[in-house]
Amino acid sequence: MHVRSRLSLTGAALAAACAISLTACGSSATLPTPKSSGGAAAPTFQQVLDAGPVAPASAIPDGSLMAKIKARGTLNVGGTDTSALFSLKDPVSGKLTGFDAGLAQLLAKYITGKAGENLVLVTADTRETLLQNGTVDTVFATYTITPARAQKVAFAGPYYSSGDAILVAKDNTSITKVDDLAGKTVCTESSSTAANDLKQYAPTAKVILFQTNAECQQAVEQGRADAYVLDQALLLGDQYRDPKVKVVGQPFTSEPYGIGVPLASPEMKAFVNDWLKQIQADGEWAKLWQATIGSVLSGSAPTPPVIGSVQGS
């Protein structure tokens, strides 16, 4: 990710996160729209983990990073624990849920036989370093693949595609697409690429930069900004926990997320890509999407991006 922010949830929101009803419905789309209501029952997060495969011994050669992880018995994962829908820590159980957290636990199970990982909190400034010095084996953190980053670390995937979207106040009906941002006051995070994207897609908008997601969200709530632009995947987390805002329209840029692995362990990238292909083919990827992101998006699970399809992957 271009360091998008980490969502800070209130106690009530965290409770809601633990109690959410998991559903999915509607027709398929590459980038689904925010969910309105209804839907068929979806598998639970735990059911998806329980059904995850375990790699045969022949897939883990001696001397590989995977063999070291298996011998250690724990996958060291760089990630976050406050991102609704992607990696959120339950304050009571201490367990992580979300799409990234689920993928990390499925990969851990595939290598070690058990779905648990050792989470190391990362920021956009530390991800590459922690992979390079061996502190973490992988990074799952809505981590956008870019050619520049691929000079420092390797990326398996892409495993998910998001893009810049728009968040507005719940009662706002004047903004539904990027063209509607013309002349409006629009906020985003100073550390994100959305600021540059706005120069291209909404050149007449008055852009306000904030340091955090919370500041941007509050600006929209309080009417200091007409809209907030950032990755749809993260804005949905805001919508999920705050009934005063909503995500509108479709993403207008492409943000392919990859799984960061050490550049010095090319066998790990090939191994993770093979595992991704397997869980996509057997439906585990789609079931995990339904149990997490699909709880707030309309439509069936999207078609995953083709592995190796973007520069840097």
Q: What is the pLDDT of residue 41?
A: 63
Q: Within 13 A of 247's CA, how many CA atoms are on the CB side? A: 27
Dist CA 189 CA 210 (whole Å): 5
Percent of the chain predicted with pLDDT > 70: 87
- With cut-offs at 50, 70 and 90, classify the pLDDT of residue 27: very low
Q: What is the pLDDT of residue 114?
A: 94
Per residue in 76-101, pLDDT tens? 999 988 778 899 898 899 999 999 99
Q: What is the pLDDT of residue 11?
A: 32
Higher pLDDT, 304 or 232: 304
Tell me the mean pLDDT in the region 240-264.
Answer: 92
Q: What is the pLDDT of residue 22?
A: 27
Per residue in 283-311, pLDDT tens? 999 999 999 988 877 788 989 999 999 99
Dist CA 232 CA 91 (whole Å): 25
Query: Average model confidence (pLDDT) for the chain?
Result: 85
Q: What is the pLDDT of residue 40?
A: 53
Q: What are the phi and psi torsion angles at 100 (to 5°)?
A: -65, -45
CB 48: neighbour CB atoms within 10 A?
Answer: 26
Classify the phi-psi angles of 210: left when phi > 0, otherwise alpha if psi is within -120 to 50, otherwise beta: beta
* Tokens encoding 112: 């070690």
